[in-house]
Amino acid sequence: MKLVICEKNIAARRIAEILSKGTSKTSRLGTIPVYDFTKENEPWCVIGLKGHIINLDYPAEFNQWAMISPKDLIDVEPCKNVSEKGIGDALQSLVKNTPSIIVATDFDREGELIGVEVLDLLKSFNKNISEIKRARFSAITTYEINDAFENLVEVDYNLSSAGEARQFIDLVWGAVLTRFISLTSGRLGRDFLSIGRVQSPTLALLVEREKEIKRFIPKPFWKIVAQIKKEQLFDAQHINGIFLEQQPALEIYNKIKDAHSALVKEAKKTVANELPPTPFNTTSFLQAASTLGFSASNAMNIAEELYMSGLTSYPRTDNTVYPPSINIRNILEKLAQSEFSKEALEVMNNGRGYPTRGKMQTTDHPPIYPVGVPVKKKITADQKIIYELICRRFLATCAKDAVAETTDVTLDISGEDFKANGYKLLEANWRTIYPYFKEKGKPLPELVNGENVEVTKISLNAEETKPPQRYSQGALLGKMEQLTLGTKSTRHEIISKLYGRQYITGSPPIPTSTAIAVVDALVNCDVVKPAMTAQLEKDMNEISEGKKTLGDTVKESRQMLSIVMKELETDKETIKNNIQTALREQHMIGVCPKCGKDMMVRVSRQGKRFVGCTNYPNCTNTYSLPQSGGIIKTTNVCDACQTPIVKVKMKGRGAWDLCLNSFCPKKNKRVDAPKEKENVAPPISGK
């Protein structure tokens, strides 16, 4: 018998259907579905896991946080336990017949580790397993699956060791640092503070940007802008650009303010090709999805669903170059029978001949591209948006260059030079297929050297420099990639964890006061610096290449963590005070209308959150809160009763302002906000 191990049930069902040519039968071992069929007179059985079914954790006696010092936890050996007992029992039953095993999990570090974990479990059930092979594929399509199973390879134990090193190091660093910061600040139970090897330097990026914004001091500058008219209105700016001093700008303005005509000194046109975008890798895909309103985590989940359904290729990849093995023509022919038939036929009949190439080329997985066409009734609205994004990106990479004309004009107004720029798309080509880019500019009217044009207005505009923008999720992903924080497979999860752990809120993500206090507490510690986690990423790459061992890397990481803990122990009291102060600030809601003291979010003995006055017991004023959704403090108060107003944000229901006073004479009505796909702001809780 051949036993095929897949990462999830949806993949197992589809792979069984392909290998059996639709003849597989579903049975159950307990509650676990198993797919059986006969192939070439041999029985086959396909089973799906739920990702990792082996859990790495500390022994039970070390789970009482107060019983062991965090620094002593560094050298405690974690143990492995079966976290999905039903699947474990099913595997034990299936392996009794000593089958030949084929690992068909996702082909990356995580997938290889999941497969090896199950192999170790199966060997513990039956030491006489006859054969172990690996099926590698990048899309769950008929061709790829059949090809993978006809060309089985060996399991890559170096790759799984790299995945195991990450799992081990993340557990130890996370557990030790989380316990230290939580015990030090007195935040235990469900309100514990989380620290992570990748999570913390990522959070530090957001905190540093927030500090840059807060300490930013705007500086004034001046611009002189002339409004020109020839068939249409357009603006021209003084050749100096911006003036940092008002007086020189004012002198020029006074000189030319009454001018009514401008001389065209030079009108220069340039025609150039614009290359289509490069193929999607994970980071560029998530960045593009974020511009459509999808959080990184949500976009990746949808992409994985499309992959498991056989509609797109594997979404975790660094590659931006299509390998020769991809049959571009075949994909275009499929899309020609879909809602993208017009675009596909355009590319087939008038394409570039060869797709664009990005800078990153790897051999594990190709870029993200469509591999199938969905049945309309079997795809959700969000899946349709993401599938269309992937299809249009693929089609664009195969389409002809766009052709654009740029115009640079120099005008003389009373002896002062002004510049104007125009942009005109001559041949849209790929831009028609992939309409997600912003327009670069507007066309200028036809201008001829030596002609005079009308000046309708001249303005001296006073402006101020702007603070740096907060990172969007897409920009944050790009920065993480640049600094080697996490991997293509984990970066979106890190951002999601920061939301879930109440370190960031809103979109774009804004760090909470607690997040700022935690990062400040670790400011002199390597755990918030990208260099340390980047070195560990490098070590894990070397494990996968066979240049380094799992044991050596784990030993080195423990030594690094010991140094970090020594640094933290010396600042323990300062860390405690800073975090506790920040926590109080984060949970402040506003001023009590009865006594004028601060009000803050608290949690009752029954676990219900409410707002209470900090002047208790002298003031017993309290307000109830919704028990689900995010509560975001504002600076607003109700004009009818002077009670603080909070914003309530719930997933799928938009957001609304709420006066905390349920007896407010105004009887506030909910105001719907546009539905968002971003992470919901976490609920505030406190004591």
Per-residue model confidence as pLDDT tens digits over 362-385: 777 899 999 999 987 788 999 999
What is the pLDDT at residue 667? 58
- 3-state SS class at 50: strand
Are 372 and 391 in contact, with CB atoms under 8 Å apart?
A: no
Are 638 and 645 in contact, with CB atoms under 8 Å apart?
A: yes
Q: How far apart (Å, rounded) are the C-alpha atoms in residues 229 and 260?
A: 10
**CATH code for the part of the protein at 282-397:** 1.10.290.10
- 314 among known catalytic residues: yes
What is the pLDDT at residue 74? 93
Catalytic residue among 35, 253, 307, 314: 314
Tell me the β-bridge partners of 405. 271, 424
Looking up tokens 């980047």, which residue turns up?
Answer: 534
What is the pLDDT at residue 651? 63
Residues sharing a CB contact under 8 Å with residue 472, sequence separation 6 or more, in sequence order: 290, 507, 508
Q: How far apart (Å, rounded) are the C-alpha atoms in residues 135 and 123?
A: 19
Q: How far apart (Å, rounded) are the C-alpha atoms in residues 234 and 111?
A: 57
Tokens of 575: 């860390």
Lowest-pLDDT range of 275-279, 324-328, 479-483, 582-586 = 582-586
Residue 626: pLDDT band (50, 70, 90) is: confident
Among candidates 324, 323, 346, which has minimal Cα distance to 335?
346
The pLDDT of residue 409 is above 60: yes
Residue 415: pLDDT band (50, 70, 90) is: very high
pLDDT tens column, 122-145: 999 998 887 999 999 999 999 999
Phi and psi, residue 386, nearest 5°: -70, -40
Q: How far apart (Å, rounded) are the C-alpha atoms in residues 53 and 477?
A: 28
What is the pLDDT at residue 271? 97
55-70 average pLDDT score: 86
What is the pLDDT at residue 427? 95
The pLDDT of residue 687 is above 50: no
pLDDT tens column, 598-621: 888 887 877 788 899 988 889 999
Please indicate whether residue 588 or residue 208 has the higher confidence score (pLDDT): 208
Looking up tokens 């099926």, which residue turns up?
Answer: 135
pLDDT tens column, 650-661: 766 667 888 888
The pLDDT of residue 675 is above 60: no
What is the pLDDT at residue 265? 96
What is the pLDDT at residue 371? 94
Tell me how crowded residue 329 is: count the other CB atoms within 10 A of its CB. 10
674-687 average pLDDT score: 37
The pLDDT of residue 298 is above 90: yes
Burial 98-111 (b: 16+ CB within 10 A, else e): ebebbbbbbbbbbb
Domains of the chain, residue spans: 2-49+84-155, 163-214+470-580, 220-275+402-464, 282-397, 588-687
The pLDDT of residue 258 is above 70: yes
Mean pLDDT of the chain: 89
Please indicate whether residue 438 or residue 667 has the higher confidence score (pLDDT): 438
Q: Which fold has domain 163-214+470-580?
A: Topoisomerase I; domain 2 (1.10.460)
What is the pLDDT at residue 527? 78
Say yes or no: do domains 2-49+84-155 and 220-275+402-464 share a fold: no
Lowest-pLDDT range of 345-354, 399-408, 437-446, 517-526 = 517-526
Please, what CATH class does the domain formed by 220-275+402-464 belong to? mainly beta
The pLDDT of residue 629 is above 80: no
| Best CATH choice for the domain 2-49+84-155 from the list 3.20.20.220, 3.40.50.140, 3.40.50.150, 3.90.1150.10 | 3.40.50.140
